[in-house]
Amino acid sequence: MVYATLSGHTEELAEMIKERLEKAELEISVEEAYEAEARHFQEYELIILGSYTWGDGDVPDDMMDLYNEIEETDLSGISFAVFGSGDTGYEHFAGAVDHLEEAVRRKGGILTAESMKADVDADSDETEELADRFTEEILAWREKR
Ligand SMILES: Cc1cc2nc3c(=O)[nH]c(=O)nc-3n(C[C@H](O)[C@H](O)[C@H](O)COP(=O)(O)O)c2cc1C
C-alpha cells in the first residue's frame, strides 16, 4: 500500500484498510508515496494507492513523482485498488482518485475494486462502511484468483 497524506486523513483510511486486510491474514507493507517506486510494483500481488486531493481536483505534489512514474511504466498484469480522502465541498471531489485510476487503466493495470472516496467530513460509521466495502471487494477478488 502506498499513500500520500498531508493532514492525516488518508493515513487514517490507510490504517483502516490495513487492519481489515490483516484480519483476513493478508500480509501488507505500507509506504508513503515519496518513498515508493513504480518499478517495484510487479513484486506484489496487489498495489493499493491512496491519496488526498489538492488544488482543483489534482494529484498532490507528494504523489506527483510516483504518478509520473506510473505514466511511464507498463502496468500490464499488475493489480490495483485506489482510495482517497477528499472534501465534497470542492467541485472535483477526490479528483486525485480519478486521476490515479485513469493512469492505472491507461497503463494496462487491473482495477480489482471500485475506488473508495471518503469525505473528510463524513461521520466515522460512514467511513468505516466504505472501508468495509472496499476491503470486501479486494478479498472477493483474491478469492477468485
Ligand atoms: C488547497 C486545498 C485544495 C483542495 N482541493 C480539493 C479538491 O479539489 N477536491 C477534494 O475533494 N478535496 C480537496 N481538498 C481537501 C483535501 O483533499 C481533504 O481535506 C483531505 O481529507 C486531506 O487529506 P489528508 O488529511 O490525508 O491530507 C483540498 C484541500 C486544500 C487545503
Instruction: State which ligand 1 atom lies nearest to the alpha carbon of 5.
Output: 26
pLDDT of residue 120: 97
pLDDT of residue 86: 98
pLDDT of residue 36: 97
Alpha carbons 141 and 113: distance in angstroms, whole number: 8
6 C-beta closer than 6 A to ligand 1: yes
| CATH number of the structural domain spanning residue 67 | 3.40.50.360
Give ipTM to 2 decimals: 0.99
Alpha carbons 37 and 125: distance in angstroms, whole number: 34
User: Model confidence at 88, in pLDDT bands (50, 70, 90)?
Assistant: very high
Number of domains in the chain: 1
Tens-digit pLDDT profile for residues 29-59: 999 999 999 999 999 999 999 999 999 999 9
**Which distant-in-sequence residues (6+ apart) come within 8 Å of 101 by Cβ?**
82, 111, 115
Alpha carbons 99 and 96: distance in angstroms, whole number: 5
CA dihedral over 115, 26, 35, 78, signed as positive or negative: negative
The single-letter code of the amino acid at 15 is E
User: Model confidence at 101, in pLDDT bands (50, 70, 90)?
Assistant: very high
108 C-beta closer than 6 A to ligand 1: no
For residue 43, give its domain range.
Answer: 2-144
Rounded distance from Cα 6 to ligand 1 centre (Å): 9
120 C-beta closer than 6 A to ligand 1: yes
